[in-house]
């Protein structure tokens, strides 16, 4: 059985969250989730990246508090922790939603 540690609202740190958002791959994943609700790894619109690298980025996003997983069978569905983020960092989700997604 999986037991994954997510930071609680009070454990979330703005610098850590900003560092997580400071990578273009991760920013794209977060913006994707902010718009779409829930997706599994293959749903993130990031190209030319190995699955181990993607998994690494997901871990950083999860540990920063930005996203949370839901396990269903062999799939891992991820979603943005909108309510928690809105409580801890009011305005942050809107900021992400207002920003157009970069297409490379």
Partner DNA sequence: TTTTCAGTTCGAAAAATATCAAACAATAAA
Partner DNA sequence: TTTATTGTTTGATATTTTTCGAACTGAAAA
Provide the binding-site residues for DNA, judged by CB under 7 A: 1, 19, 22-23, 25, 40-42, 48-60, 69, 73-77
Decide if residue 10 touches its own copies (CB under 8 A): no
C-alpha pair distances (Å), 96 with each of 39, 72, 92: 17, 27, 6
Distance CA 59, CA 77 (A): 13
67-72 and 75-80: which strand pairing? antiparallel
Residue 66 touches which member of its own copies, DNA, none, C-beta under 5-8 Å by kind: none
Decide if residue 9 touches its own copies (CB under 8 A): no
Decide if residue 99 touches its own copies (CB under 8 A): yes
What sign has the CA pseudo-torsion 28, 64, 17, 20? negative
Residue 92 touches which member of DNA, its own copies, none, C-beta under 5-8 Å by kind: its own copies
């Amino acid at each position: 059985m999986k037991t994954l540690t997510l930071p609680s609202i009070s454990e979330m740190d703005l610098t850590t969250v900003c560092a997580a958002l400071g990578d273009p791959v991760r920013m794209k994943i977060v913006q994707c989730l902010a718009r779409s609700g829930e997706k599994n790894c293959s749903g993130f619109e990031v190209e030319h990246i190995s699955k181990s690298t993607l998994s690494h980025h997901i871990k950083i996003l999860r540990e920063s508090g930005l996203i949370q997983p839901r396990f269903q069978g062999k799939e891992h569905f991820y979603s943005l922790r909108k309510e928690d983020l809105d409580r801890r960092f009011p305005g942050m989700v809107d900021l992400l939603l207002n920003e157009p997604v970069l297409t490379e």
